[in-house]
């Protein structure tokens, strides 16, 4: 990404905490290549079309994310009809799985002063008797890249919470289902994407789509130490990439 000046770089790339500037976890992990994103752009007619879809998709994802966070702290948010199926599926899943969240640790800023980075985690939760980091995603799948982000949170919190045991990705999404063959139609960012099962029936089906149905997936990733080594490596590469502004900021000597 191009930055026009130091202030813009610092604002977009990190946080000022107790008078010290730290790079943000999510900005650091952007340094990793994303093949799925390249394929996404390759399927479109232009780069600008991809940027427009990404922007609208991010807006919809933020709406869902903010609604879920309000529910986690005990509020009842106004839910846009656009994301209502996903929110309702989350509420049902949350209750049925007896997930416990302390409102104090929802959207909580954390800092690792030894490794010099900061971030904002979604929540800390008690799930199946284990206490750990809960990260919320609104993507169509759980990607391995998420492990870099959550490992950074785990490393930052391990000294503060001696009972820290695990981490989870909670994916929340919605899609229409074909009532004939089980294919799915995902509508996000103004774009429709159909996923067809590998059956003869599905390939030859004249799809009849249901109303949008919420989809919730929870996956645990208890072993974070190797992922954290990869995060530290990604951070080193990110520092190399942004050496010019990091030296101006006094972060690198």
169 near 224, Cβ under 8 Å?
no
State the pLDDT at residue 200: 64
Please name the residue that has the structure tokens 């290549």: 33
State the pLDDT at residue 50: 82
Give the tens place of pLDDT for each residue, 27-43: 999 999 887 777 877 88
- pTM comes to 0.91
Among candidate residues 114, 214, 115, 231, the one with its CA nearest the CA of residue 167: 231
Residue 12 has a CB neighbour count (10 Å cut-off) of 11
> Cα(148)–Cα(232) distance, rounded to whole angstroms?
9
State the pLDDT at residue 199: 77
Bridge partners, 215 (sequence order): 173
153 near 133, Cβ under 8 Å?
yes
Domains and CATH numbers, the chain: 22-245 (3.90.320)
DSSP calls for 116-170: TEEEEESEEEEETTEEEEEEEE-SSS--TTHHHHHHHHHHHHTTT-TT--EEEEE
Strands 166-177 and 184-188: antiparallel
Residues of the chain with pLDDT under 70: 200
Give the tens place of pLDDT for each residue, 184-226: 999 988 889 998 888 767 778 889 999 999 999 999 999 999 9
227 near 147, Cβ under 8 Å?
yes
Write out the two tokens for 83.
């994301």
Phi, psi of 246 (to 5 degrees): -65, -35
DSSP calls for the chain: ---SSHHHHHHHHEEEETTEEEEBHHHHGGGS--HHHHHHHHTSS-HHHHHHHHHHHHHHHHHHHHHHHHHHTT------TTTHHHHHHHHHHHHHTT-EE-GGGSSEEEEETTTTEEEEESEEEEETTEEEEEEEE-SSS--TTHHHHHHHHHHHHTTT-TT--EEEEEEEEEEEEBTTT--EEEEETTEEEEE--SSHHHHT----B-S-EEEEEEEE----HHHHHHHHHHHHHHHHHTHHHHHHTTS--
């Amino acid at each position: 990404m191009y930055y026009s000046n130091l202030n813009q770089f610092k604002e977009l790339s990190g946080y000022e905490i107790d008078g010290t500037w730290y790079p943000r976890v999510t900005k650091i992990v952007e340094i990793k290549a994303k093949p799925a994103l390249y394929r996404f752009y390759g399927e479109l007619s232009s780069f600008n079309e991809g940027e427009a879809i990404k922007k609208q998709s991010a807006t919809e994802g933020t709406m869902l994310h903010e609604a879920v966070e309000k529910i986690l702290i005990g509020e009842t948010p106004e839910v846009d009809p656009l994301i209502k199926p996903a929110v309702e599926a989350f509420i049902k899943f949350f209750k049925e799985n007896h997930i416990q969240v302390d409102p104090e640790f929802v959207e909580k800023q954390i800092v690792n002063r030894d490794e010099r980075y900061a971030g904002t985690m979604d929540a800390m939760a008690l799930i199946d008797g284990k206490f750990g980091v809960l990260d919320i995603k609104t993507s169509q799948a759980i990607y391995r890249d998420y492990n870099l982000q959550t490992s950074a949170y785990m490393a930052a919190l391990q000294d503060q919470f001696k009972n820290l045991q695990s981490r989870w990705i909670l994916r929340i999404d919605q899609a229409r289902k074909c009532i004939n063959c089980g294919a799915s139609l995902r509508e996000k960012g103004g774009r429709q994407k159909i996923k067809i099962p590998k059956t003869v029936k599905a390939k030859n089906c004249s799809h009849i789509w249901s109303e949008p149905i919420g989809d919730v997936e929870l996956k645990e990733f208890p072993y974070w130490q190797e992922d954290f080594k990869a995060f530290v490596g990604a951070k080193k590469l990110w520092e190399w990439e942004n050496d010019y502004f990091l030296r101006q900021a006094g972060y690198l000597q």
